[in-house]
Amino acid sequence: MGGWPKGPGMWIPPPVLGTDNVHALGASRRTIGAGGTPTSTAWPAANRAIAIPIWLPDAMVVSSLFIANGGTASGNLDLGIYTIDGAKVVAKGTTAQTGTSTLQILTVTATPVGPGPYYMVAVLDSTAGFAQAYATAVVAEQQMGVVQSAAAVPLAATLTFASPAATFIPLMGISTITTY
Amino acid sequence: MADWPSGIIAGHSCISTTDVVNSVGAEINNSNSITQSAAWQVANTGVFVPVRVFQPITVVKMAIIVGATNTGSCDVGIYDPAGNRLVRAGSTALGTASTVQTFDITDTALDPGLYYFALALTSTSGTVFQSAPGNLYMRAMGCFTVASAFSTGLITPVTYASVNGTVTRFPWIGAYMETAI
C-alpha cells in the first residue's frame, strides 16, 4: 500500500507549533483583549499541569517539545501531549528545569500525533521555577479552552482536566525538529 | 478505495511571512508586534522565516517593504528545510524608502511543503519593515538566522542557527503568484 498521498490541499505541519500558533491559541488571545508578549513568571502551583489546546488537521510527527523558561530555573518538569480525554500520547519524563530566559527543548521518540484535537501539557513540581508566560485572565483562558490538572512529575498515563485557576499560560510548544 | 482526502487549501495570490495560516501571522498578532520600519540588526546575517505552502504554486515575484532609510544592498530568496536555496533575487540595492520593493525572480514552482523565506541586508543602516517579537519568541515560531548569509548575495547551502539575542526581529517578505503587485 502506498504512503499517505501528497497533493493539493494536504496539510503541512509547522516546524514549531507554539502557544500562539494558528493551530493552538491562534489569534484568540489578542482577539479577546489578552495579547502581548510573555514575561518571566513563577509556576503558579507545584505539580499543576497547564494544558493548551491544539488542533491538528492531519498527522504531525513530533520529535521534541519545548518550554520557554523564565529568569529562574528550579525543580523538575515534564512536557507531553494528551488527547482531550486525558490519555497521554507522548511525554518526555522527569527532567530538571535548566536554562534561564531560553527555550528548554526536550527530544522525544518521533511520534505521529493527529489528526484531531489535543492538549500540549507542561508541569513543574516547584513554584521556585519560572516560565515565560502570559498573565491571561481566567475567563479568557476558559474562552480559549486552556485547562489544568493536578499532576505530579512525571506526567501520568491519564490526566483529569479542570477549569484553570491561575492567570498563567506558558509559552510552550511541540515540533517536528529538535534544534530551533 | 477511500476518497481522495481533503485538506486545507490556503490560496491567494500572495503568501507572506505575516500570513496567519501560511506563516507566523497568528503569533505576531498575539504578541502585538506590529510590522514597522526598523534597522537591520546584523549586517549580512540572513533571517529565515517558515512558510507553509499547501498547494502547488509558482512564485514569479518577491517583495519586501523598504523602511525610512535605504542604505546598502539586500537579497531575498526561498530555501528548503535542508538549507538549500531554491531561488533568490540576487544582490540588489535597497529600493526607494517607504515603498514596496519588488524582485522579478526566476519563476519557481513550489510543491506543497515547508519553506523558508529569507532576507539579508548588507548594512545596519538599512531599514525594512519588520516585526519585533524578540529572539525567544522567534525561536518559538520556528525562525532561524544564518550569519554571513549574504556574500555576493544569499548563499547556498546554509546551516540554520537558533535565533540569538542579537536578532530580535524578522522582516515582512512576500511571494507572489502574479506579476501585478
| Interface predicted TM-score (ipTM) | 0.89
Q: Which of B63, B4, B39, B60 is nearest to B122 (CA)?
A: B39
State yes or no: pLDDT of A42 exceeds 80. Answer: yes
Nearest beta carbon to residue B26 from set A6, A20, A66? A20
Nearest beta carbon to residue B140 from set A4, A173, A179? A173
As to burial, measured by CB atoms within 10 angstroms (0-12 exposed, 13-18 middle, 19+ buried), residue A143 is middle
B165 touches chain A (CB under 8 A): no
DSSP for chain A reads: ---S---TT-----SEEETTSTTTTTTHHHHTT--S--EEEE-SSTTEEEEEEEEESS-EEEEEEEEEB-S---SEEEEEEEETTSBEEEE---EE---SSSEEEEEEEEEEE-SEEEEEEEEES-TT-EEEEE---HHHHHHHT-EEEE-PSSPPSB---B---SS-EE-EEEESSS--
Identity of the residue numbered B48:
F
In contact, B128 and B134? CB cutoff 8 Å: no
Using the structure block, give the residue that is written with the C-alpha cell 506579476: B179
List pLDDT tens digits, range A126-148.
Answer: 999 999 999 989 999 999 999 99
Q: What is the mean pLDDT of residues A64-85?
A: 98
pTM passes above 0.90: yes
B83 touches chain A (CB under 8 A): no
Q: Which of B58, B44, B69 is nearest to B13 (CA)?
A: B58
CB spacing of B136 vs A101 below 8 angstroms: yes
Q: What is the mean pLDDT of residues A148-154?
A: 95
Q: Mean pLDDT score of chain A, rounded to an integer?
A: 93
CB spacing of A9 vs B54 below 8 angstroms: yes
Instruction: For B11, name the nearest residue in chain A, comparing CA atoms only.
Output: A9
Nearest beta carbon to residue A57 from set B7, B26, B142? B7
Min Cα distance A130 → chain B (Å) is: 15
Q: How far apart are CA A72 and CA B92, in angstroms?
A: 45
Instruction: For A174, name the nearest residue in chain B, comparing CA atoms only.
Output: B140
Q: What is the pLDDT of residue B63?
A: 96
For chain B, which residues score pLDDT lower than 70?
Answer: 1-12
Q: How confident is the model at residue A91 (pLDDT cuts 50, 70, 90)?
A: very high
- Reading phi first (left if > 0) and then psi (alpha if -120 to 50, else beta), residue A138 is in alpha
Q: What is the pLDDT of residue B10?
A: 45
Q: What is the pLDDT of residue B80?
A: 98
Min Cα distance B26 → chain A (Å) is: 5
Q: What is the pLDDT of residue A37?
A: 84
CB spacing of B7 vs A15 below 8 angstroms: no
B113 touches chain A (CB under 8 A): yes
State yes or no: pLDDT of A4 exceeds 70. Answer: no
What residues of chain B, 17 to 36, have a C-beta less than 8 Å from chain A?
20-21, 25-27, 29-33
In contact, B86 and B108? CB cutoff 8 Å: yes
Q: What is the pLDDT of residue B12?
A: 67
Q: What is the pLDDT of residue A7?
A: 47
Q: What is the pLDDT of residue B1?
A: 47
Contacts of B160 in chain A (CB under 8 A): 179
Q: How confident is the model at residue A1 (pLDDT cuts 50, 70, 90)?
A: very low
Q: How many CB pairs under 8 A join A and B?
A: 114
